[in-house]
């Protein structure tokens, strides 16, 4: 059984991942801010861990992570609060979580990032441009760390029911993907320690998720 600490545990991907981890006999610790979400997280099989990236320091977050086997960072401002909140959650929050994982000696770190072609060719706001820039800087920060990292870049996220089949690779055409399938992909990565230090792009596809992830494993 693995213990997985999910930063952004109350988010759409975090909730799905908690549920899938619980169903497969693993323990999910879900970091969340809003006390009203406690019971929902419990119902998904997660252990709710209340705390905010805006308030925790490295020592406090490391103490919450202690004993975990993996950290999954799926937190995001979601466009709320403008660039300042994006910088604080998606940027500085990621840096805080990386430092806390190192201090807590949790070597394996999975980051849910953004597909670089998102909204390419469309008229986008300055807020979105900032979001993409922050996401890239977060990727760089994690990739330059000494952690056993994996960066997952899903395409446009959908709330449709997952198919259990995806296209995953180092560089693939842009597309859409169900949040269910993103969570299932994270679970498969967690189960395969030989998938390591790689950036994975992800869309819907025709290959079973387990097979897709295994193809990216180191021999």
Cβ-in-10-Å burial (0-12, 13-18, 19+) of 108 comes to buried
| 8 three-class SS | coil
Cα angle, residue 61 at apex, residues 58 and 65 outer, rounded to 5°? 130
| CA 145 to chain CA mean position, Å | 17
Contact 39, 28 (CB under 8 A): no
Q: Which of 15, 131, 139, 152 is catalytic?
A: 131
| 127 three-class SS | helix
174 is catalytic: no
**Token pair for 16:** 């799905």
Catalytic residues: 131
């Amino acid at each position: 059984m693995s213990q997985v600490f999910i930063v952004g545990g109350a988010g759409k991907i975090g909730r799905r991942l908690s549920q899938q981890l619980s169903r497969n006999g693993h323990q999910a610790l879900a970091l969340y801010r809003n006390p009203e979400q406690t019971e929902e997280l419990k119902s998904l099989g997660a252990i709710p861990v209340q705390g905010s990236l805006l308030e925790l320091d490295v020592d406090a977050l490391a103490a919450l992570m202690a004993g975990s086997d993996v950290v999954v960072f799926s937190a995001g401002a979601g466009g709320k609060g403008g660039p300042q909140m994006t910088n604080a959650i998606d940027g500085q929050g990621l840096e805080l979580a990386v430092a806390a994982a190192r201090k807590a000696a949790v070597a394996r770190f999975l980051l849910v990032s953004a597909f670089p072609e998102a909204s390419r060719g469309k008229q986008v706001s300055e807020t979105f441009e900032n979001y993409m820039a922050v996401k890239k800087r977060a990727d760089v920060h994690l990739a330059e760390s000494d952690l056993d990292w994996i960066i997952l870049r899903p395409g446009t996220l959908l709330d449709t029911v997952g198919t259990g089949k995806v296209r995953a690779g180092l560089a693939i055409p842009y597309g859409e993907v169900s949040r269910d399938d993103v969570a299932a992909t994270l679970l498969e990565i967690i189960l395969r320690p030989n998938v390591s230090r790689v950036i994975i792009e992800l869309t819907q596809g025709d290959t079973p998720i387990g097979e897709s992830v295994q193809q990216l494993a180191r021999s």
